[in-house]
Amino acid sequence: MSMSDRPLRICMLTTFYPPFNFGGDGIFVERLAGALARRGHAVTVVHSLDAYHFLGGPLFEPALPPIHGCTR
């Protein structure tokens, strides 16, 4: 098994991530994380609820099931 065949553990840091986002940046990170997870990598996404609420996002925190095998 070569190093390129091994699954990686990836941590992605972003300000916004669905459903706590306002546009394209959160969607891009979600799609990239999902693509990596579908390839067998373990992906964790860390995002900022405080930034979302500070910029006017509604104050709700729904249960967040993993998306495409990614944890948040």
What is the value of pTM for the model shown?
Answer: 0.74
Q: Is the bond preceding 66 in cis, omega lying within 30 degrees of 0?
A: no
SS3 of 50, please?
A: helix
DSSP state of 17: B
- Cα separation, 59 vs 50, whole angstroms: 10
**Domain ranges for the chain:** 3-54
Tens of pLDDT, residues 21-71: 888 899 999 999 999 999 999 999 999 888 888 888 887 766 666 666 666
